A = this chain, B = another copy of it.
């Protein structure tokens, strides 16, 4: 039996979204048990033989500062949900709440794995091959050393080997193409470090990739610092929304375009399904002593269910042990390099 803890209060809409998704998951997988964490009155309508309500008296708001979530709301649904993993009552936890708060509380309660200095957020972005490219970090770390980028590569490889069932997923290092200034010092050093890891058999490193390679699917995993990754993710979301809005506006312009929309409906639905971000919902917070997943805050029940599925697959396939094993194997490189942080090593 796989037990997942769900922060039912997180996200823009809370139980109205999370509960229907939980019910679907329970219906689809007979080996799932859910710990539904939240305000008892908000969850009281949910009855299922494999679901248990775990009460929490507070809710972390989407705009709560991290300090408030961490220090003041000690009985929040988010924190109580993570505590289930900490106490061994659940194998993984999912929340659609405030990312910063989730990372901070998870890090505080669960601690990081040996050999990992910085946990990272790994996000699956759809690619032209019909699959997804795992990009990390997506915002947990704004200033990264080459050592951190190596950690991300090792953790991302473990994640993909489990969730995509690829023993040796390919890793690309996000860089820029202009000849004048190919990357900064950290990126150059990270490239060398990733090559060493590849030589040692710890990674399937394919070299530098550029922003467009995320969507081409050039590498299974794309590694970057959290500032860059967050901007790339948000810019992509913004562009996708803009294109969708343009398409909708053009098809609803007048009676003729509306008729065209009716004729084209099956095609447009197929297109929409293919370009649907929701299918890939569910970021992994990697590097912690426990499995923590994050759903997009604006997820609908379908999207939240996808994130639940990812948490379920990760737990069932022993992601945590796989990450630990990979880190242990790469330990000589991880610890060797960490002795010389780039900020001290490069005079700039």
Contacts of A260 in B (CB 8 A): 263-264, 266-267
In the bound assembly, the distance between CA atoms of A259 and B10 in angstroms comes to: 45
Among B100, B215, B256, point to the contact of A235 (Cβ < 8 A): B215
Shortest beta-carbon distance from A176 to chain B in Å = 4
Q: Is A142 an interface residue (CB 8 A)?
A: yes
User: Beyond A230-B211, A231-B176, is A271–B250 a contact (Cβ under 8 Å)?
Assistant: yes
Q: Is A50 an interface residue (CB 8 A)?
A: no
The chain B residue with its CB closest to the CB of A251 is: B267
Contacts of A240 in B (CB 8 A): 239, 243
Q: Is A232 an interface residue (CB 8 A)?
A: yes
In the bound assembly, the distance between CA atoms of A211 and B103 in angstroms comes to: 21
Contacts of A348 in B (CB 8 A): 143, 343
The stretch of A25-33, A76-84, A179-187, A195-203 that contacts the partner chain: A179-187
In the bound assembly, the distance between CA atoms of A270 and B247 in angstroms comes to: 9
Among B212, B241, B243, B271, point to the contact of A212 (Cβ < 8 A): B241
Shortest beta-carbon distance from A336 to chain B in Å = 22
Q: Is A158 an interface residue (CB 8 A)?
A: no
**Interface pair B263/A141, CB less than 8 Å apart:** no
Q: Is A127 an interface residue (CB 8 A)?
A: yes
Q: What number of copies of this chain does the assembly contain?
A: 2
**Interface pair B179/A100, CB less than 8 Å apart:** yes
Count residues on chain A whose CB falls below 8 Å from chain B CBs. Answer: 75
In the bound assembly, the distance between CA atoms of A213 and B230 in angstroms comes to: 13
**Interface pair A103/B180, CB less than 8 Å apart:** yes
Contacts of A176 in B (CB 8 A): 139, 142, 226-227, 230-231, 234
User: Beyond A128-B242, A142-B183, A250-B267, is A232–B232 a contact (Cβ under 8 Å)?
Assistant: yes
Q: Is A210 an interface residue (CB 8 A)?
A: yes
Q: Is A206 an interface residue (CB 8 A)?
A: no
Q: Is A275 an interface residue (CB 8 A)?
A: yes
Interface-central residue, A232, A251, A267, A268, by most chain B CB under 10 Å: A267
**Interface pair A241/B270, CB less than 8 Å apart:** no
Contacts of A164 in B (CB 8 A): none
Shortest beta-carbon distance from A177 to chain B in Å = 7
Shortest beta-carbon distance from A130 to chain B in Å = 10
Beyond A211-B233, A239-B240, A246-B275: 5 further Cβ-contacts under 8 Å?
A99-B178, A139-B177, A236-B239, A240-B243, A251-B267
21 CB < 8 A contacts A-B: A65-B179, A100-B179, A101-B180, A128-B246, A139-B180, A140-B178, A142-B176, A142-B184, A143-B348, A174-B231, A210-B234, A211-B235, A215-B238, A227-B228, A228-B228, A250-B274, A253-B267, A253-B270, A260-B264, A263-B264, A264-B267
